[in-house]
Structure 1
Amino acid sequence: MELITQQFFSVLGLLFCIKLALQFLGFIKYLFPHLWGSLPLCFFRSMGEWAVVTGAGDGIGKAYAVELANRGMNIVMISRTLEKMQRVAKEIEQSTGRHVKIIQADFTNNNIYEHINENLKGLEVGVLVNNVGMLHNPDPCRFLSGPDNDKNLINCNITSTVKMTRIILKQMEERKKGLILNISSAFGRFPCPLYAIYSASKAFVTTFSRALQAEYKSKGIIIQAITPYGVSTPMTKNPSTDIVTKSPIDFVRQSLNYVKFGDETFGCLAHEVLGCIINCIPLRVIHSTAVQEQFLKIFSNAHK
């Protein structure tokens, strides 16, 4: 019996060491991405001439539009606010010389996709960034304390990803190449109280992305869910940047270097480290009433 117990704990210790080694390799990938095969300058353009970015007027979407243009792609910007897109488009065209096409559409509605599809006809789309999204409420709150905007959030966070993927994936499958980046959230990696509907919508995006990658990786298509923690954007009220809270352009530049790192990535090293730390916290702690009350108190005091 004593021998069996020793063998059991030896195996358990070995498995734990293997897990730590795999996590360490994960960090090494982020620290030295070139060791895992650096992306050539022409990588993104080799997927196709155009990149389509939803929610491209500001924040992360704007950063993807700018950075993909810097990497040689023409850009299709899709968003609700025409004036913002026009300013970004002018900036991109002047600084990079790439072409920019604007499609105005409100992703909280479901009747926009025929219009989008018509405007994309004839374009060789090599990259799709499903970025558009919204929060149930900017600050943490219990479900019934937030606004009744469930339909808008589901349309914006879930339906947009499915519909845009269906439009673009068809031509990628025909050409046997393409890249789809679905911007999810670290809040979708576990049931996150005080952001319940947002967390659930992002869990859908991540699961949808990983399932599609399993279906289409053999056809030469990369589909990746990106699950960031803090990025300073208008949706998050533009918090100050620091070692964890990234500026949109800093986050996007890092995330584009990791598009071959698997079907899901945090997008940057700092968020990878933070994710490993949070994964060590038992879910019952995060779900405890005391922790929730503390978060609500912190955000309440911040607005006083």
Structure 2
Amino acid sequence: MKLAEAKGDWALVTGASSGIGQEFAIQLARAGLNVVLVARREERLQALARSVASEFGVRTEVIALDLSQHGAVEQVKAHLDGAGIQIRLLCNNAAAGRWGRIEATPAPVYQQMIELNTAVLVAMCHQFLPHLTAFPSSAVINVSSPASYQPVPYMAVYAATKAFVQSFSQALHGEWKERGILVQTLVPGPTESEFDAKAGAYESTLTRRGMPAEVVRASLVGLAEGSPVVVAAKGTYKQRVFAGLFPSKMVIREVGKMFKPPK
């Protein structure tokens, strides 16, 4: 999908109030796409909408809600249908994580995380398929993680949800490519954002953080190239070889060392 051909059409970005989602909104607006911004924090969304509209001359639509709540995806779809907005590019970026021993976090937090990271992503793809098929070419960007490549002790639920995203998104690419819809699985590395603070991150061996702008640039280049998977993280080849070839006992032990909480 060439962004130049989608100029004036609409992109929808979830988790748009900060980090990678905010950067997607900026770079897509710079490319001439109108943007629908979805997240919980309305003030931030409104400020971002004013900024991109002023700088790039695009139209914006703000939808402030918690996507993990029952019926939220249907609300988004009904809102846009009522406004006469058809989505040509869908970016499923919203996600939540949690560091630490599984019993240290209440079960409802994990239930909400599973809903947001997996069920909402599937529902967004399902709900907006009629929009996507209305164009000669369209795209879905589903944001995954290197955590998807192996079990991650002390981030067990988050890693499992991203393994779901990885598998689902690539399978959906196989289903939809003949319909002119590119489904891209985006794998960013650790990135400067609010994610770690919200997830209760503590000091670990993961010390390097990339910039959201680099991740989004790689994703948009991948759209133009028709890439089903875009990896914007360093070291994932070695990571995948290690996870695929070495005994599971060793993989679990060594990955666990990286994320084990301080005493």
Alignment TM-score, normalising by the size of structure 1: 0.75
* Number of the residue aligned with 1:222: 182
Structure 2's unaligned 5+ residue stretches are none
Q: 1:293 to 1:40 in 2, by over 3 A?
A: closer
> SS state of the match for residue 192, structure 2?
coil
Task: Verify: 1:108 aligned to 2:68, yes or no.
Answer: yes
* Number of the residue aligned with 1:53: 13
- Quick check: which has more Rg, 1 or 2? 1
1:67-82 matched pairs, under 5 angstroms: 67-82=27-42
Distance 1:85 1:186 in 2: 28
> SS state of the match for residue 129, structure 1?
strand
Distance 2:70 2:3 in 1: 37
Distance 1:295 1:188 in 2: 15
Q: Which residue of the other structure, out of 238, 257, 260, is the alignment partner of 2:221?
A: 257
Q: 1:291 to 1:206 in 2, by over 3 A?
A: closer
Whether contact under 8 Å (1:178, 1:221) holds in the other structure is yes
* Number of the residue aligned with 1:231: 191
1:1-304 matched pairs, under 5 angstroms: 42-45=4-7, 49-121=9-81, 122-135=84-97, 137=98, 139=99, 141-148=100-107, 149-237=109-197, 245-259=209-223, 260-266=225-231, 268=232, 271=233, 273-281=234-242, 282=246, 283-288=248-253, 292-293=256-257, 295-296=259-260, 300=262
Residues 225-272 of structure 1 deviation map (CA, whole Å, 9 limit, x = unaligned): 112221111012399xx9952111222122211123532221x3xx2x
Displacement of 1:179 in angstroms is 0.5
Distance 2:259 2:75 in 1: 42
Larger RCO of the pair (alpha carbons < 8 Å, separation 6+): 2
Distance 1:292 1:206 in 2: 21
Whether contact under 8 Å (2:182, 2:226) holds in the other structure is no
Q: 1:198 to 1:130 in 2, by over 3 A?
A: same
Whether contact under 8 Å (2:153, 2:255) holds in the other structure is no
Q: 1:291 to 1:64 in 2, by over 3 A?
A: closer
Distance 2:167 2:259 in 1: 27
> SS state of the match for residue 182, structure 2?
strand
Q: 1:172 to 1:254 in 2, by over 3 A?
A: same
Distance 2:48 2:177 in 1: 33
Structure 1's unaligned 5+ residue stretches are 1-38
Alignment TM-score, normalising by the size of structure 2: 0.86
Which residue type is aligned with residue 74 of structure 1? N
Distance 2:230 2:257 in 1: 30
User: Structure 1 stretches (4+) deviating beyond 3 angstroms?
Assistant: none
Over the aligned positions, Cα root-mean-square deviation in angstroms equals 2.4
Displacement of 1:294 in angstroms is 5.9
Distance 1:65 1:88 in 2: 8
Displacement of 1:216 in angstroms is 0.9
Q: How many residue pairs get matched?
A: 249
Distance 2:259 2:156 in 1: 14
Distance 1:134 1:197 in 2: 10
Distance 1:68 1:230 in 2: 22
Distance 1:247 1:204 in 2: 25
Distance 2:221 2:255 in 1: 36
Which residue type is aligned with residue 85 of structure 2? L
